[in-house]
Amino acid sequence: MHSPSTVRKVFLKNLLLLQALNLIIKPAWLLLIDREAQNLLGPSYGEYYLVLNLTLIANIVLDLGIQNFNNTSVAADQNFFKNNFKSIFVLKGILSSLYFFVVIGLAMQSSIPMPQDLLIILIANQVISSFVLYLRSNINALHLYAVDSLLSVSDKFFAILICVFFYLNHQISIFNFVLAQLMASCFTFLIALAINIKRWKNIGFESQTLSSFKLRSLLYKSIPYALLFTLMNFYTRIDVTMMNAMLKDAAFHAGIYAQSFRLLDASAMFAMLFAGLLLPMFAKMIQEKTDLRPLVNLSATILLIISITVSLACFLFGEEILKLLYTFKNDESLAMSSMVFKNIMLAFVPMSLIFVFSTLLTAKKDIWYMNAFALVAFIINISVNYFLIPDYQSFGASVGSLITQTAFAVFCIWRCMVLFGFKLPYLQIAKFIALVLILIGVYFFIKSLTNIYLVLLIFTSASFLFSVLLKLINMDKLMGFFKKTAQ
């Protein structure tokens, strides 16, 4: 994996496998199982979402930046995995115990209504999921992309099977819904652990793995990554927490926000797959001083085409899409959800750029600049929410999310331009502007159609067609990547 052409072949082939698996499994979870749970469980789902958000905000305690630090380090040197696997595993066990007490403490101080059994299961699921992510970071960094692709969807696959069992037996409840996720995470953990142990035995053994000095050293090196994870997690998740603190009907607005955020999560999951593939590739290319621009341009272009298409479709056909997915009491509640939905989904465009450029900065270990950017983004998010949430509720929070994601994306792109000497591709920007204008024009031609499935099919097809005509997608080059097997 030395030449830019070979790197792009490896990236595209593994990306296709990842996307194929995720297109089948994750939408089924988010848009069928999770959505149906909200429709069936009603207000209790909003309360569950508040509790879930609480466990996610405290998630930093589980990781402290270890995952990204480990992925980057192992990608550059496999011996890091050999020498530190046991140490990190023990360290994560210690952090898991600390996380338990932190979340319990936060819960005791919170006004969120939460059954203790539900809280314990959510805590356990976050702990197991954190171990899975660490184990997957080893697999990914060792360039076992196909294996990591399967593991990326296995938890949702198992959760779907278990939830379907509960649905068919009329046993669906918030408790069983959360229990299904925990069981699925445990199955995935056992599979990932077995693969890690087998790989570790093949590489070798380090006798001083459990020294306290090594644990302290790993913690110290991961602190910048931990701070970055904390700030990014806060500015992404603090919206719901602020609504809970500032609104009397917080559960209602958390439910509205969850409806839209679920669609953003579904979209972001596909973009996140790019970051998972790109991080070890970028780290290796930086170490080998390979030209980064072709891979950066390819990944950013693909993600922008996807995110612009999805965001515009959701903005222009917001109410129709929401009516497909959820049941609304009246037109007023549909209109309220639609306004939130449009802002939330527009944030997918800057988020897609963040997945490329922040990943490149992480691979470069330019963490302190990223921390500064994330801190500014966090301050922006808090400030906007403070002024907008009291008057505009979930809509105000959605505006804050859009502004924050855009600001952080701009910061990351600017830093990459400075650090790697990238130039603004003015012609490429003009083409994307043209694509947006063309798609808006397509909207006026098809908006009178009554079949939303046909409308979305035409809209998506038009996006692909005009991306090719504008040469945002070069079909000759794209097909050329697949003529030979990547080495």
Question: With the C-alpha atoms ordered 159, 164, 169, 171, is the resulting torsion angle positive or negative?
Answer: positive
Task: Check residue 435 and give its pLDDT.
Answer: 94
Question: Residue 74: inside a domain, yes or no?
Answer: yes
For the ranges 13-22, 284-293, 426-435, 468-477, the maximum mean pLDDT occurs at: 426-435
Question: Residue 23: inside a domain, yes or no?
Answer: yes
- Is pLDDT of 51 > 80? no
DSSP state, residue 331:
H
Q: Compare 325 and 20 and report the one with higher pLDDT.
A: 325
Task: Check residue 363 and give its pLDDT.
Answer: 84
Taking a C-beta distance cutoff of 8 angstroms, is the pair 459, 309 a contact? yes
Task: Check residue 147 and give its pLDDT.
Answer: 79
Tens of pLDDT, residue by residue over 229-261, are 778 777 777 777 788 778 777 777 777 777 777
- Is pLDDT of 160 > 80? yes
Residues 371-395 have a mean pLDDT of: 89
Tens of pLDDT, residue by residue over 453-467, are 899 999 999 999 999
Question: Residue 484: inside a domain, yes or no?
Answer: no
Q: What is the percentage of the chain residues whose pLDDT exceeds 70?
A: 79
Q: Which of 31-40, 138-147, 381-390, 437-446 has the lowest mean pLDDT?
A: 31-40
Residues 311-325 have a mean pLDDT of: 87
Task: Check residue 26 and give its pLDDT.
Answer: 66
Question: Which residues span the domain enclosing 173?
Answer: 4-423
How many angstroms from the chain centroid is the CA of residue 351? 9
Question: Residue 480: inside a domain, yes or no?
Answer: no
Q: What is d(CA 97, CA 92) in angstroms, rounded to the nearest whole number?
A: 9
Q: Compare 300 and 172 and report the one with higher pLDDT.
A: 300
Burial track 328-348 (b if 16+ CB lie within 10 A, e otherwise): beeeeebebbbbbbbbbbbbb
Task: Check residue 27 and give its pLDDT.
Answer: 63
Task: Check residue 218 and give its pLDDT.
Answer: 65
Task: Check residue 485 and give its pLDDT.
Answer: 37
Taking a C-beta distance cutoff of 8 angstroms, is the pair 281, 312 a contact? no
Question: Residue 60: inside a domain, yes or no?
Answer: yes
DSSP state, residue 328:
-
Taking a C-beta distance cutoff of 8 angstroms, is the pair 371, 224 a contact? yes
Question: Residue 446: inside a domain, yes or no?
Answer: no
- Torsion (CA) 63, 271, 374, 53 in degrees, nearest 10: -60
Question: Residue 339: inside a domain, yes or no?
Answer: yes
Number of domains into which the chain is organized: 1
Question: Residue 256: inside a domain, yes or no?
Answer: yes
Q: Which helix (H) or strand (E) holds 347?
A: none
